[in-house]
Amino acid sequence: MGAHSCLLAVALLLVVAFAGKSSAQLSTNFYSKSCPKLLTTVRSAVKSAVSRERRMAASLLRLHFHDCFVNGCDGSILLDDTPTFTGEQTARPNNRSVRGFEVIDDIKSKVEKVCPGIVSCADILAIAARDSTVLVCRPPIRSYIKQQIPKVCVDLYQSGLQVKGPNWKVRLGRRDSKTASLAAANSGVIPPPTATLNELITRFQARGLSAKDMVALSGSHTIGQARCVTFRARIYNETNINSNFARTRQERCPSAANSGDDRLAPLDVKTAAFFDNKYYKNLVKQKGLLHSDQILFDGGSADSLVRSYSKNPKAFAADFAAAMIKMGNIDPLTGSQGEIRKKCGRPNSSS
């Protein structure tokens, strides 16, 4: 091969490599032409779901997190078990814990009506997680007069809609996995509620997220609830806990194992109904519900950031949005990888 041919071959290889790299990039306007009604369709469905059950906002946000941490943001957690296939839903971090699958199915059916075969379930989940966060930044109507909208909230949609929340533009273009991995979901990539600070940092770093990202994303625990079984050991055995807070939680969470395991308590003792920075204020007062919450403020390297977020809601909002974008970009399937599922609960081959 001559010198000219060699140079041409190298140039072609570089073009192919660049094309492959660029195809893996997600874009905020990926569906602007192929499905222009996507965002309004998802927003409307999420709003209906959260109106029916406010807790669903935290569930959808958590569903996106648990999806992304296992083999990337590929919608694999949405695949239902069959007689011949066991997916991720019954893995230890997910079993009787993650929820909201029926909401994603409902959104998918509505999206299919406006642009069939175009939008992945993984992208729908990413959008729903954002919209859920936005919707619960506004207090419930019954407390709206008494409580100001948290400073952490910023306008997302047109002011006429009166919807507020921490905003980020969701990057899209993910495709859906054709399979799921129970073993991967059980491998420890999803930090348990008993995790130490070092374990949290290490597991987030393994997914390309910094310690700062981890602390910011932990702020999602400003909404939602946890089961007694996940915080029993903390409220009965740990010393870095406010005594009155511990006693209050003990009233509904018995000390005996297998007793009241599924009883719920708010992760944020102050304003569990909407998204704000009270989670960090709770940690400073030793009122974190989970061990993995309070460990963020326990004399370690995360203390200063927790204290900063407790005092500066705008900084928390900005860092949370940035971390959500990074998390949503974990190993997506793009281009010709995977597929666009017709139904989120099963691969197309089984339809």
Active centre residues (catalytic): 66
> β-strands 264-266, 225-227: how paired?
antiparallel
Nearest residue to 270 via CA among 258, 262, 261, 278: 278
Q: Is 154 annotated in some ligand binding site?
A: no
- With a CB cutoff of 8 Å and minimum separation 6, the contacts of 136 are 50, 54, 57, 58, 165, 223, 273, 274, 275
**How far apart, in Å, are the Cα atoms of 238 and each of 233, 234, 247, 291?**
7, 5, 12, 9
Whether residue 239 is annotated as binding a ligand: the answer is no
Please indicate if the annotation marks 170 as binding a ligand.
no
Determine how β-strand 225-227 pairs with β-strand 164-165: unpaired
Are 81 and 345 in contact, with CB atoms under 8 Å apart? no
DSSP label of 78: G
Q: Is residue 72 annotated as involved in ligand binding? A: yes
Least Cα distance to 134 among 275, 325, 39, 328 occurs for: 275
Which H/E stretch holds residue 71? none
> Any binding-site annotation on 4?
no
Strand ranges for the chain from DSSP E: 154-155, 164-165, 225-227, 264-266
Q: Is 230 annotated as a binding residue?
A: no
70 is in an annotated binding site: yes
User: Which residue matches tokens 């078990």?
Assistant: 81
Name the DSSP class of 27.
Answer: B
Q: Which amino acid belongs to residue 110?
A: K
What the block records as the tokens of 150 is 């948290």
Q: Does residue 36 have a known ligand-binding role?
A: no
Q: How many CB atoms lie within 10 A of CB 113?
A: 10
Q: Is 81 labelled as part of a ligand binding site?
A: no
Q: Does 193 count as an annotated binding residue?
A: no
Does 191 count as an annotated binding residue?
yes
Which amino acid is residue 121, in one-letter code?
A: C
**Token output for 100:** 């909201």
Which H/E stretch holds residue 132?
A: helix 121-135
Bind-site residues for heme b = 221
Bind-site residues for Ca(2+) = 67, 70, 72, 74, 76, 88, 222, 268, 271, 276
Bind-site residues = 67, 70, 72, 74, 76, 88, 191, 221-222, 268, 271, 276
Bind-site residues for substrate = 191
